[in-house]
């Protein structure tokens, strides 16, 4: 059993939000925690204020290279945090999900997450963008273990619909207007940093997974717990051929991520724009 005092987490998130709001004068409607398309979306913000880890008290710093950007995107107040923390780097569940707690404490109601993922579906090709419709947690991480703070969220949050249909429909409608396809899939979170074996990929496929990645799910659990509405998208970096045992081409994965990034940015901007209508 994980033992921790829940109060410092809430206090830390509230202190973080207070400092950021005082320095930026912003009250974001949408929070974006982006592993894919971060730089492109941040570049589209107007009247933006950039906060670096070094600008904050040490106990509130999320990581050494972390950046927060507040501003307006398509006329909507947003706050953008860059790449989620990777549990395989040694971060604790509280550290991994602290950005979610902090962004919620700033007042945002919608959390948009992006990540990279491998595709187990023949319909989801490298460089494309997919919506997460549900997930399977094989990461071995559950950020809600330990004593619960009822002021952060309920002891037993309902996870029957972590990715609400209306946000997924909105994203699909925006994708169609942009002339692109945005298919849906079930995301399986694995621990990493090693990639799954062929046997593990086959197991994940039979378990119902269409997408496989090393992030996103712990953050979504914390988001639902804290009262966020959630929209999650992934950029496809590889298409796993279960019958093919050839080594993974890292360069091809990076090329696919570069291809997905502008598509992701356009889709995110389009989704946010609908909130200003």
Residue 268 lies in a domain: yes
Predicted confidence at residue 57, as pLDDT, reads 85
Q: What residue spans of the chain are helical by DSSP H?
A: 7-24, 38-44, 93-105, 165-177, 198-206, 217-226, 250-274
User: What is the count of structural domains for the chain?
Assistant: 1
Residue 27 lies in a domain: yes
Predicted confidence at residue 90, as pLDDT, reads 87
Residue 1 lies in a domain: no
Residue 2 lies in a domain: no
**Sign of the Cα pseudo-torsion (49, 9, 62, 86, in order):** negative
The Cα–Cα gap between 8 and 199 comes to 42
Peptide bond into 193 cis (omega under 30): yes
Predicted confidence at residue 139, as pLDDT, reads 93
Predicted confidence at residue 250, as pLDDT, reads 79
Write down the pTM of the prediction: 0.92
CATH number at residue 159: 3.40.50.1580
Q: pLDDT tens digits for 98-113?
A: 999 999 999 999 999 9
The Cα–Cα gap between 119 and 122 comes to 8
User: Nearest 5°: CA angle at 225, between 48 and 172?
Assistant: 60
Residue 251 lies in a domain: yes
Cβ contact 14:20 at 8 Å = no
Q: How far is residue 106 from each of residues 25, 35, 41, 124, 186, measured CA to CA in Å?
A: 11, 20, 20, 35, 29
Cβ contact 155:146 at 8 Å = no
Residue 206 lies in a domain: yes
In the chain, which stretches have pLDDT less than 70? 1-7, 37, 63-64, 245, 277
Residue 85 lies in a domain: yes
How does strand 184-190 pair with strand 67-73? unpaired
Predicted confidence at residue 3, as pLDDT, reads 44
Predicted confidence at residue 6, as pLDDT, reads 44
Residue 44 lies in a domain: yes
Expressed as residue numbers, the domain containing 67 is 7-274
Q: For tokens 């945005």, what's the residue?
A: 182
């Amino acid at each position: 059993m994980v033992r921790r005092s829940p109060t410092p987490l809430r206090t830390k998130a509230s202190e973080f939000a207070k400092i950021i709001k005082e320095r930026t004068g912003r009250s974001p409607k949408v929070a974006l925690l982006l592993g894919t398309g971060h730089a492109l979306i941040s570049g589209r913000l107007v009247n933006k204020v950039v906060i670096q880890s070094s600008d904050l008290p040490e106990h509130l710093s999320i990581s050494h290279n972390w950046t927060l950007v507040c501003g307006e995107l398509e006329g909507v107040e947003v706050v953008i945090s860059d790449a989620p923390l990777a549990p395989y780097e040694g971060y604790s569940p509280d550290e991994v999900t602290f950005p979610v707690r902090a962004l919620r404490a700033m007042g945002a109601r919608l959390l948009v997450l992006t990540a990279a993922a491998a595709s187990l579906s023949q319909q989801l090709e490298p460089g494309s963008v997919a919506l997460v419709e549900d997930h399977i947690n094989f990461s071995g991480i559950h950020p809600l273990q330990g004593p619960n703070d009822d002021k952060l969220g309920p002891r037993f949050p309902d996870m029957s619909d972590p990715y609400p249909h209306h946000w997924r429909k909105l994203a699909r409608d925006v994708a169609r207007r942009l002339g692109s396809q945005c298919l849906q899939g079930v995301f399986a979170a694995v621990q990493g940093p090693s990639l799954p074996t062929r046997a593990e990929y086959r197991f994940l496929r039979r378990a119902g997974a269409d997408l496989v990645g090393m992030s996103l799910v712990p953050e979504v659990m914390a988001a639902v717990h804290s009262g966020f509405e959630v929209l999650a998208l992934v950029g496809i970096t590889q298409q796993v051929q279960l019958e093919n045992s050839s080594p993974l081409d890292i360069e091809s994965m990076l090329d696919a991520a570069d291809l997905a990034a502008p598509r992701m940015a356009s889709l995110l901007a389009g989704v946010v724009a609908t909130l200003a209508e």
